[in-house]
Chains A and B, each alone.
Chain A
Amino acid sequence: MNTIILAFDLALFLEKLILIAVIIFASLGIALYTTFAERKVAALLQDRSGPNRVGPFGLFQPFADGLKLLMKEEIIPNTSNKFLFILGPFMAMTAALMTCAVIPWGNQVEMFGRTIQLQIADINIGVLYVFGVVSLGVYGMLIGGWASNNKFSLMAALRGASQAISYELAMGLSLIALLMLTGSLSMKTIVEQQMDSYWNIVYQPLGFLIFIICVFAECNRTPFDLPEAENELNFGYHQEYSSMKLGFFLFAEYIHMFIGSAVMSTLYFGGYDVPFLDESTLSSNVAALVGIASLMAKIVFFLFLFMWVRWTIPRFRYDQLMNLGWKSLIPLALFNMLITGALILAKSGL
């Protein structure tokens, strides 16, 4: 027993703790400003100027919004299951934040005589972990919608659950083709492979198309935002929520977007890889900073894409959504898998 405690590396523990704190606060901060960016981008695409009153260029708007949410009255419906009602937003938020554990944010930095990996956990089943946690996010929505004891919320929660499950299938199938190429489930290894050769998007354009459509569906973003369809389900599963519990639900969506963008950049766009730059010529710390900046740039692009699509195309009808998922994306993903397998086989010379 004693040996186990002695073998416990305190410095490593502290290092990981600090990294976790930094990453969680960074994701929260980015999600905070994504709400602002969403409104600004919406305004930009609609010839408006967007929020510009709070602070310079309206930059303090997200804090004003957050403060407003905090100050609002907390209402818990009388007939609902109180425990589950509170658990809903909590689950949504936790599941959203947990995903960032396996994403390699950068290569490594050298600090205080230690080499610090800029990844909380380089587990060898990283991609599977992301999948597992992302599907947990459905529970937040489902529990929240069910505990609200409201028909609209329940319908929305059911819609959300079936949508998430349907699209996870196609997502997984499109990823299998990618994993056949990389031969590894570790996010870090996948990035390192892309640093040496081309990005995976070159090998898997169809797989990426399927993947990005599924990410849109998993994040409940337009055109797949059926669980919170304002005009038919009264804001869906978070209709009964108020104050910061509502804020958590809304926030979780933005964190999902952020993580989804990070996963897409990592799996298909080389993660922290900078194109046409040999990182080994730079010192380790500079390379890490450049890598983080590169990953962030990719993430910001995808976040913009999320918003761009949202303010361009209308919402799917529910049967259209299911048709697309089951009758188009899954066969397409299977086809993609087949082609990839055949090509790999042909390349290895049978």
Chain B
Amino acid sequence: MQALTQRAKAVDRKPMTWWEKLYLPSILKGMAITFGHSFKKRPTINYPEETRPFSPVFRGLHVLNRDEEGRERCTACGLCAVACPAEAITMEAAERLEGEENLYREEKYAAKYEINMLRCIFCGLCEEACPKDAIYLSETFAPSNYTRKGFIYGKDELLIPHPIQDPEGYAKAKGLNN
């Protein structure tokens, strides 16, 4: 039969020589190989202390953005919820009242905004759908919680820290430090 590729190797079925039957040389050879491995570089990344570098387009947990004055950008248009293939986003809209201009950028805002992180597939379509640059995916990942309910993130978890009141937290969430 003709071989399909040139990679086939004939199996050597010669009876073992006395030297091979001793096994000790090959055992010593194997031990040299394993010992050699103890000097090799370990690929381990000790996770909490070290982190793997992310690509700039990494898609982690969501963040609801504020503008430079600290006003929420989201207008509760619902485009992200429509775009979401996993149906992980729900929201309730409300109208901005007098005197709330420093809180919300537009006349309409999201009174309630929830993302179910267990449903979310981190595709980033919400980010692309958003006309107001209000939602984007951060480099934070591996959320942990004790209950399923805890994975439904509300506005308190999603909103980015205030850029004026908490500039450090804001910079960190924006990823400006590194």
Seen from chain A, the residues whose Cβ lies within 8 Å of a Cβ on chain B are 44-49, 52, 308-309, 311-313
Q: Are A312 and B27 in contact (CB under 8 A)?
A: yes
Tell me the complex Cα distance, A44–B41, Å: 10
- Residue B31 CB within 8 A of the other chain: yes
- Residue B165 CB within 8 A of the other chain: no
Taking CB atoms, residues of chain A closer than 8 Å to B40 are: 47
Q: Are B27 and A45 in contact (CB under 8 A)?
A: no
A-facing residues in B7-56 (Cβ within 8 Å): 27, 30-31, 33-35, 37-38, 40-44, 46
Taking CB atoms, residues of chain B closer than 8 Å to A311 are: 34
**Cβ-neighbour of A308 out of B34, B41, B44, B46 (below 8 A):** B34
Q: Are B31 and A47 in contact (CB under 8 A)?
A: no
New A-B contacts (18) at CB < 8 Å, excluding given A47-B37, A49-B44, A312-B30: A44-B37, A45-B34, A45-B35, A45-B38, A47-B40, A47-B41, A47-B42, A48-B44, A49-B46, A52-B46, A308-B35, A311-B34, A312-B27, A312-B31, A312-B33, A312-B34, A313-B27, A313-B30
Taking CB atoms, residues of chain A closer than 8 Å to B41 are: 47
Chain B nearest Cβ from A27, distance in angstroms: 27
Which A-chain residue is minimally distant from B40 (CB atoms)?
Answer: A47
Range class of the B interface residue count: 10 to 19
Tell me the complex Cα distance, A311–B35, Å: 10
Q: Are A49 and B42 in contact (CB under 8 A)?
A: yes
Taking CB atoms, residues of chain B closer than 8 Å to A44 are: 37-38
Tell me the complex Cα distance, A136–B35, Å: 35
Seen from chain B, the residues whose Cβ lies within 8 Å of a Cβ on chain A are 27, 30-31, 33-35, 37-38, 40-44, 46
Chain B nearest Cβ from A143, distance in angstroms: 33
Which A-chain residue is minimally distant from B48 (CB atoms)?
Answer: A53
Q: Are B27 and A47 in contact (CB under 8 A)?
A: no
**Cβ-neighbour of A46 out of B27, B30, B37, B46 (below 8 A):** B37
Chain A nearest Cβ from B27, distance in angstroms: 6
Which B-chain residue is minimally distant from A53 (CB atoms)?
Answer: B46
Chain B nearest Cβ from A304, distance in angstroms: 10
Which A-chain residue is minimally distant from B26 (CB atoms)?
Answer: A313
Which A-chain residue is minimally distant from B32 (CB atoms)?
Answer: A312
**Cβ-neighbour of A47 out of B30, B35, B43 (below 8 A):** B43
Q: Are A309 and B44 in contact (CB under 8 A)?
A: no
Taking CB atoms, residues of chain A closer than 8 Å to B44 are: 48-49
Taking CB atoms, residues of chain B closer than 8 Å to A312 are: 27, 30-31, 33-34
Query: Can you report 8 A-B residue pairs in the complex whose CB atoms are below 8 A from each other?
Result: A45-B34, A47-B41, A52-B46, A308-B31, A312-B30, A312-B33, A312-B34, A313-B27
Which A-chain residue is minimally distant from B41 (CB atoms)?
Answer: A47
CB-CB nearest 4 A-B residue pairs:
A44-B38, A45-B34, A312-B34, A312-B30
Q: Are A48 and B42 in contact (CB under 8 A)?
A: yes
Tell me the complex Cα distance, A312–B42, Å: 18
Chain B nearest Cβ from A323, distance in angstroms: 11
Q: Are B31 and A309 in contact (CB under 8 A)?
A: yes
Taking CB atoms, residues of chain A closer than 8 Å to B31 are: 308-309, 312
Tell me the complex Cα distance, A44–B27, Å: 19
